[in-house]
Structure 1
Amino acid sequence: MASFSPGDRIRYETIDDDGFPLVRYGFVGGDPGDDGPVVVLLDGELGGDFVERNKLVPVHIGTVVLTLDGKDLLDDPSLRQGLVHLWQAEAEDAGLRIAALHPIGTGVRDSSEGYLLAELNTCDQQYVLRAAQCPMGNDAVVVGASLPNRF
């Protein structure tokens, strides 16, 4: 289980009032202690919420992942190009600073189920942005950054 300190940037996945998945970002407020809920100051809200520690993930380039419905997002080259911009917007929303992002046209097939979409650099580290069919076997696509040889 992750350990948190005041001011840490976090990612919080929850379900909105309509029953749809929702990803929120914020900061750890106050001293979270060793166990129990953590006070989180969510972006765009006044005050803090208590969130169970196991529902929080530290924000890092590898934890900013989009899961989008529709396998056609991988099948259609123009839609694959759009995934780069959707992920970039999510990374900005998470508070990440991407030094350089270089899209690779309509993507390059890197495995039987995915595409390499872009190369990016942050904190003097090289990453790649990939899109692949969701490993859970549904009709979703997962878009995320990783080191060049992982995903």
Structure 2
Amino acid sequence: MTETHRFRHGDRIRYATQDEDGFPLVRYGFVGGVTDEGGPVVVMLDGELGGDVVDLDTIEPVSICNVTLKLDGGDLLDDPALRLGLISLWEAEAEDAGLQIAGIRPIDTARPSRNGCELAELTAAGDQYTLRAVPCPTEDAILIHCSRPSPWAF
């Protein structure tokens, strides 16, 4: 976490950890209890009955801009039909995170470049966002995430 956040009971969180094989894993859940300001937090992860005690630096509040989907295969952006499928996959991840997307409109003219491409425009909580797919800098994969549209876009 780049900034200090004070968690409260019931806050929706994104938990970044590793699976048993050492691969990155993102889970979602709720804060079940807080020990002290700098100490660990008890989280209730979706789909689990018990709580886990986790360090503060492994969780962050869920926001539309930190729900990121990582998919193997940098060539997934090459086919227009696959680009449409990426939108649906990210929507499923956003739903798992507990976000409600009011509307999503695919960008039919999206053309990939070495910097990735814009996949869709969407609305959530009354705000506008752009769904983008960008190459992963460390491996042959893509990262799909939302950002606020550029103020210079027209």
Relative to the length of structure 2, the TM-score reads: 0.88
Stretches of structure 1 lacking an aligned partner (at least 5 in a row)? none
1:144 aligns with 2:145: yes
Q: Which residue pairs with 1:117 in the alignment? A: 119
Task: State the AA in 2 paired with 1:90.
Answer: E
Runs of 4+, deviation exceeding 4 Å: none
Task: State the AA in 2 paired with 1:149.
Answer: S
> Are the counterparts in 2 of residues 38 and 53 from structure 1 also a CA contact under 8 Å?
yes
Matched residues in 1 for 2:147 and 2:35: separation?
A: 29
1:83 aligns with 2:86: yes
Aligned residues: 148
Matched residues in 2 for 1:111 and 1:126: separation?
A: 23
1:5 aligns with 2:15: no
Equivalent position SS for 2:84 = helix
Quick one: percent identity of the two aligned structures? 57
> What are the Cα deviations for residues 121-150 of structure 1, in whole angstroms up to 9, with x where unaligned?
01110111011111x242110100110029
> Are the counterparts in 1 of residues 29 and 43 from structure 2 also a CA contact under 8 Å?
yes
Equivalent position SS for 1:35 = coil
Stretches of structure 2 lacking an aligned partner (at least 5 in a row)? none
Cα gap change, 1:110/1:73 in structure 2, threshold over 3 Å: closer, same or farther?
Answer: closer
Q: Which residue pairs with 1:28 in the alignment? A: 31
RMSD over aligned CA atoms reads 1.7
Task: State the AA in 1 paired with 2:116.
Answer: G
Relative to the length of structure 1, the TM-score reads: 0.90
Matched residues in 2 for 1:59 and 1:81: separation?
A: 24
Considering fraction of residues, name the structure with more strand.
1
Cα gap change, 1:118/1:32 in structure 2, threshold over 3 Å: closer, same or farther?
Answer: farther
> Are the counterparts in 2 of residues 132 and 141 from structure 1 also a CA contact under 8 Å?
yes
Matched residues in 1 for 2:29 and 2:8: separation?
A: 13
1:129 aligns with 2:131: yes
Task: State the AA in 1 paired with 2:123.
Answer: N
Matched residues in 2 for 1:59 and 1:95: separation?
A: 8
CA drift of 1:20 comes to 2.7
